[in-house]
RNA sequence: GUGAGUGUAGCUCAAUGGUAGAGUAUCGGAUUGUGGAUCCGAACGCUGCGGGUUCAAAUCCCGUCACUCACCCCA
């Protein structure tokens, strides 16, 4: 007798929230096509190896958050926890770098992570994101960041904060990590057990720890910013300059680290003060080595991913225009065929039309019209049929007019 | 994986251990070709699930599941 419910961390979306989703999706398509991004749709599951190699086998996402399963042929497959690795795979597999110009893609769709659900965090969640390939200009970094912030601004999302950092490259990061490890080992006693483990595995993450003692200790650690190679330092400088003349205010956060291993150079994150603990609206950065690591050409890339549920949470007060619904009422069941034909004409004209097939009396039909929030109700009865006309009542003003069917078109033009 | 809070009608919520209720939504009615208001009526519940204490449990205890929030991690 136990009712089957949606699995933990998943949910149903329907009216009225679904209208906001449609609005957001339309906004994404419209906005990013202005930068010549084209949509790309990749499979929802991939070979597990794509993610372990792409995202990094040491990351939390790969180690404990993947929905991995075997198919009937014994292949290990995984529901995508993010989409960048898939897009890179698709670019390589289809040789898109030889046929598509510019190499810019955007995507939107569901991602899956086995996380414990909480505010703004689901096991199946929607992300949209963009990826730019084969352009390592720092101005591109700035444009990508600008577009992310500008997009959110266009949605009237306020109270957002942009943080940026440079996480270095294979030239400078390994050397810095050793310096950081040395510093951390020297002050090991000032770190929590978790952070002590991070020293060898992923010392950058120590900067993420929210425990006051760790944060206090980490303040004394050397920062990557002071150990960047000249190339990374120059790149980051131009990114910051470009952001300034693009009028994008940002916060330099030398401790900003990304959770996925593939990032190089520029990393950024937009957070919101209006969300709960899961306050990241979007995050991204450069990943100049991922394509090569996944077997493609040596090609630079940059992108970001945004959490759509978290954006939707900000659209709470968004009011969308309501469609002008037309209700077709008939006084007697024998006029139902006429009503159906009228509805067809109206729909062909583009009006949203509803009619009740159950043949109840007019009073009932008007009540129904009220419930579907109809703007107009058309009435067909003996009188109208005989004179080849229709009565139209404006539900708000209660004005009712009777017009000839041959004048219907001009009435529609005036009112729709 | 860890912790806290909450589970009662479709929804929002009541009910000193003593017959489970209200508001709202739904359906019907207040007769004839016209809605929103008002009035009358109907239907709606294994009080998340399982055990325990008790003459008696929505209420107390244990377990379990679900939801919510936080840790962790991230978008």
Give yes or no for CB of A338 within 7 Å of strand B: no
What's the Cα-to-Cα distance from A111 to each of A4, A44, A227, A346, A392, rounded to whole Å?
A: 23, 8, 35, 40, 48
The C-alpha angle A71, A85, A91, rounded to 5 degrees, equals 105
CA of A5, C1' of B54: distance in angstroms: 35
The C-alpha angle A62, A63, A66, rounded to 5 degrees, equals 50
Q: Could you identify the residue whose CA is nearest to the C1' atom of nucleotide B70?
A: A277
What pLDDT band is residue A324 in, cutting at 50, 70 and 90? very high
Distance CA A209, CA A203 (A): 11
A200: phi then psi, degrees, rounded to nearest 5: -85, -35
CA of A8, C1' of B19: distance in angstroms: 38
Distance CA A106, CA A36 (A): 10
Tell me what the mean pLDDT of segment A294-303 comes to: 96
Q: Could you identify the residue whose CA is nearest to the C1' atom of nucleotide B69?
A: A118
Say which nucleotide is closest to residue A362, CA to C1' distance: B34
Give yes or no for CB of A373 within 7 Å of strand B: no
**Domains of chain A and CATH, by start:** 17-172+228-314 (3.30.930.10), 325-411 (3.40.50.800)
What pLDDT band is residue A206 in, cutting at 50, 70 and 90? confident
DSSP state of A4: P
Model ipTM value:
0.89
Q: Could you identify the residue whose CA is nearest to the C1' atom of nucleotide B75?
A: A307
DSSP letter string over A328-391? EEESSGGGHHHHHHHHHHHHHTT--EEE-TT---HHHHHHHHHHTTEEEEEEE-HHHHHTTEEE
What pLDDT band is residue A358 in, cutting at 50, 70 and 90? confident
pLDDT higher than threshold 50 for residue A1:
no
If DSSP codes are grouped into helix, strand and coil, which group holds residue A398? coil
């Amino acid at each position: 007798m136990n009712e089957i419910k949606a699995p933990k961390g998943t949910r149903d979306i329907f009216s009225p929230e679904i209208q906001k989703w449609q609005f957001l999706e339309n906004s994404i398509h419209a906005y990013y096509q202005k930068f010549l991004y084209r949509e790309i749709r990749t499979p929802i599951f991939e070979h597990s190896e794509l993610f372990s190699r792409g995202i990094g086998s040491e990351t939390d996402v790969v180690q404990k958050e993947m929905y991995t399963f075997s198919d009937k042929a014994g292949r290990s497959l995984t529901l995508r926890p993010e989409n960048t690795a898939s897009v890179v795979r698709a670019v390589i597999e289809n040789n898109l770098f030889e046929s598509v110009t510019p190499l810019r893609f955007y995507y939107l769709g569901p991602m899956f992570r086995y996380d414990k659900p909480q505010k703004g965090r689901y096991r199946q969640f929607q992300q949209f994101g963009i990826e730019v390939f084969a352009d390592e200009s720092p101005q591109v970094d700035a444009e990508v960041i600008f577009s992310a912030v500008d997009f959110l601004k266009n949605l009237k999302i306020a109270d957002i904060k942009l943080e940026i950092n440079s996480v270095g490259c294979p030239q400078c990061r390994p050397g810095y990590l050793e310096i950081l490890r040395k510093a951390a080992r020297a002050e090991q006693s000032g770190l929590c057990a978790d952070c002590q483990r991070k020293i060898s595995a992923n010392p950058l993450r120590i900067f993420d720890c929210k425990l006051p003692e760790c944060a206090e200790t980490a303040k004394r650690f050397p920062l990557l910013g002071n150990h960047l190679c000249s190339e990374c330092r120059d790149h980051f400088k131009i990114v910051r300059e470009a952001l300034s003349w693009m009028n994008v205010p940002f916060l330099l956060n030398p401790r900003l680290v990304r959770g996925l291993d593939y990032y190089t150079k520029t990393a950024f994150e937009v957070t919101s003060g209006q969300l709960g603990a899961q306050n990241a609206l979007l995050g991204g950065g450069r990943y100049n080595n991922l394509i090569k690591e996944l077997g493609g050409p040596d090609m630079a890339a940059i992108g970001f991913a945004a959490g759509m549920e978290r954006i939707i949470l900000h659209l709470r007060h968004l009011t969308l225009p309501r469609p002008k619904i037309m209700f077709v009422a008939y006084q007697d069941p024998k006029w139902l065929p006429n009503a159906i034909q009228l509805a067809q004409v109206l729909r062909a004209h583009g009006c949203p039309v509803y009619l009740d097939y159950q043949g109840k009396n007019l009073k009932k039909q008007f009540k129904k019209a009220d419930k579907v929030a109809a703007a107009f109700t058309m009435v067909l009865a003996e009188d109208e049929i005989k004179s080849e006309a229709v009565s139209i009542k404006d539900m708000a003003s209660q004005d009712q007019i009777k017009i000839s069917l041959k004048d219907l078109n001009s009435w529609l033009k005036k009112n729709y």
